[in-house]
Structure 1
Amino acid sequence: MSAADLHTLTGAYALDALSEREAAQFSRHLAACRSCAQEVGELRETAARLALAVAVVPPAELRGRVMGALPGVRQLPPGPHATAGPSGGGWRRRLPQLAAAACLVAALAAGAVAVDAEHRADRQRDRTAQAEQQAAELGALLAAPDATTHAGAVRGGGSATVVSSRQLGRTAFLYRGLPRLDGSHVYQLWYSRGGAMVPAGLVDPGSPDGAALLAGSARGASGVGVTVEPQGGSRTPTGTPVVLLTL
């Protein structure tokens, strides 16, 4: 595997989607590549935050119902041991299974929400559904075989990474340590296309660390920029980008 190939494995490594041999080879590369180490750290931190965003606390009475039902549950007989496949083969052939697993996790989280839905406000259910959808879409984007990543520093502090897949037609902005703004301003995302900046959504001001999926297609865009704008966003940038990353 060439050095250029190793630089493309950050997303798969962060999702534990490499074989043992590939993971060991990439770990050696990681020890000597500062940019890949930073990118893996950002991807793992974002994935963890997205998982927390969809976590649901079960109702207090659920434990009692489960413990009371245990004596009547028959134990399944032990199944045959699964045989391990060959260590090689490449992580890309496992991406469909990863996508299916991500969808399954999202479905299980949605089911947990439904158990206690009658006790939750409509607004909270909507927030949970949106977080689950974003987590699933971001997971699919990170695992896309053609996903590309570009990282850079944010003016004023923090760092950012752009992940894009032309196959999926999606782009995500991952950020860490983003400086907080006063209540009258927000961070706004833009596609840089043909010398013009096209609005692509706002960054959630609630946390300095997180991820945001860009609105619209990246087709024809050469980069992604972030500016500080008045609350609600602007039609055109009112200031210089605090970070501008190529696609």
Structure 2
Amino acid sequence: MTAELHTLTGAYALGAVSGPEERAFRRHLAVCDACREEVRELTETAARLAMAVAEVPPPGMRERVMAALPEVRQLPPHAPAPRAVRRRWRISHLALAACVAVAAVATGVAIDARHRADVAVRAEQRAAELSAVTAAPDATFHTGALTGGGTATVVSSPRLARSAVLFHGLPALPDSHVYELWYRRDGAMVPAGLLPPGRPAGAALLDGTPTGADAVGVTAEPPGGSSTPTGPPLVVLPL
């Protein structure tokens, strides 16, 4: 049971542990320094990302976006989630939505209103996908430290066939190198996207599905990424 409790740090930090499992993990935290420190770091990451939504938008941005909304294709309606699931989403949704908000601000303000509305819709869809993965009933969380610094948590849902990575404390890479994600299938590393450059903390969906993969790896690659790893993985986390 103790070995299983070690794997709950990411889920606990995102508010996705409840009932007897939560009580058991709280007791475990009282005697496990490593898990306590890991939960503290992941919780701080979520809080910092949530605070990022306080960025002040450019003057007139709200009016331009609202004016363009009638021309943007509507998202299909969805049924409201049960109260228990919404409660589990709260922390992870704030953190992931904040990550998307920071990216939107970084795109600059010299784009027209319709483009802004399109970006907002896509950002909302991306945040919803990230939240769905972290809140999925079958989601698993695996956390590990990267060589050179920082931690990463892989969240995977076989039912949704999606995976995401939450990262914290990643040092800047030299020579404009980037952090690249990989699925490991039959011993081979398959590209699964890049982490947002220049950010020490955040979240990202992996490209493709985890079907057939047994692990997720992170490497440091030249600008733009690579088709095969150019060096040893900085971390390999099981799925």
TM-score normalized with structure 1 length:
0.65
Q: Does 1:97 align with 2:79?
A: no
Pick aligned residue for 1:193 from 180, 185, 195: 185
Instruction: Give the Å deviation of 1:7.
Output: 4.8
Structure 1 residue 138: Cα displacement? 2.5
The amino acid of 1:27's aligned partner reads R
Report what 2:222 is aligned to: 230
2:44 corresponds to which residue? Answer: 45
The aligned runs of 1:1-247 (5 Å cut-off) are 3=2, 6-7=5-6, 9-11=8-10, 13-16=12-15, 23=22, 25-55=24-54, 57=56, 95-98=84-87, 121-122=111-112, 129-247=121-239
CA distance in structure 2 between the partners assigned to 1:209 and 1:105 by the alignment: 14
In the superposition, relative to structure 1, how do residues 95 and 20 fare at CA in structure 2: closer, same or farther (>3 Å)? closer
Distance in 2 of aligned mates of 1:104 and 1:42? 18
Counterpart CA distance in 1 for 2:150 and 2:9 is: 20
| CA deviations over 1:81-130 (Å, ceiling 9, x no partner) | xxxxxxxxxxxx85533478689979x999xxxxxxxx873476666555
Structure 1 residue 170: Cα displacement:
1.4
Secondary structure (helix, strand or coil) at the match of 1:225 reads strand
Q: Which amino acid counterpart does residue 44 of structure 1 have in structure 2?
A: T
Alignment coverage as a number of residue pairs = 206
Question: Unaligned regions of 5+ residues in structure 2, if any?
Answer: 61-81, 101-108
Bigger radius of gyration: 1
CA distance in 2, matches of 1:126, 1:45: 31
The answer to which of 13-22 and 168-177 deviates more is 13-22
- 1:206 Cα shift? 2.1
Equivalent-residue separation in structure 1 for 2:162 and 2:116 (angstroms)? 26
Say which SS state the counterpart of residue 36 (structure 1) adopts.
helix
- Taking only aligned residues, the RMSD between alpha carbons, in angstroms, comes to 3.8
User: How far apart, in 2, do the equivalents of 1:59 and 1:9 lie?
Assistant: 40
Match of 2:104 in 1: none
**What SS does the aligned partner of 1:97 have?**
helix
- The separation in 2 between residues aligned to 1:180 and 1:195, in whole angstroms, is 28
SS of match in other structure, 2:174: coil
Deviations 1:151-197 (A, max 9, x none): 22211122222111111211112222212113532111110101211
Q: 1:240, 1:129 → 2: CA distance?
A: 37
Aligned partner of 1:36: which letter? C
- Write the distance in 2 (CA, Å) between the matches of 1:157 and 1:166: 29
Contact 1:95 1:143 in 2 (8 A): no
> Which ranges of 4 or more aligned residues in structure 1 deviate by more than 6 Å?
58-61, 99-106
Does the C-alpha gap of structure 1 residues 4 and 146 become closer, same or farther in structure 2, counting only changes over 3 Å? Answer: farther
Alignment check: 8 A CA contact 1:147 1:164 kept: yes
8 Å CA contact 2:8, 2:141 repeated in 1: no
Deviation at 1:221, TM superposition (A): 0.5
C-alpha displacement of 1:34: 3.7
Structure 2: how far apart are the matches of 1:212 and 1:133?
A: 13
Counterpart position of 2:73: none
Once residues 125 and 33 of structure 2 are traced to their aligned partners in structure 1, the CA distance between those partners, rounded to angstroms, is 32
Deviation at 1:38, TM superposition (A): 4.1
Q: Gaps (5+ residues) in structure 1?
A: 62-92, 111-118
Q: Is the 8 A contact 2:10 2:143 kept in 1?
A: no
Structure 1: how far apart are the matches of 2:116 and 2:48?
18
TM-score by length of 2: 0.67
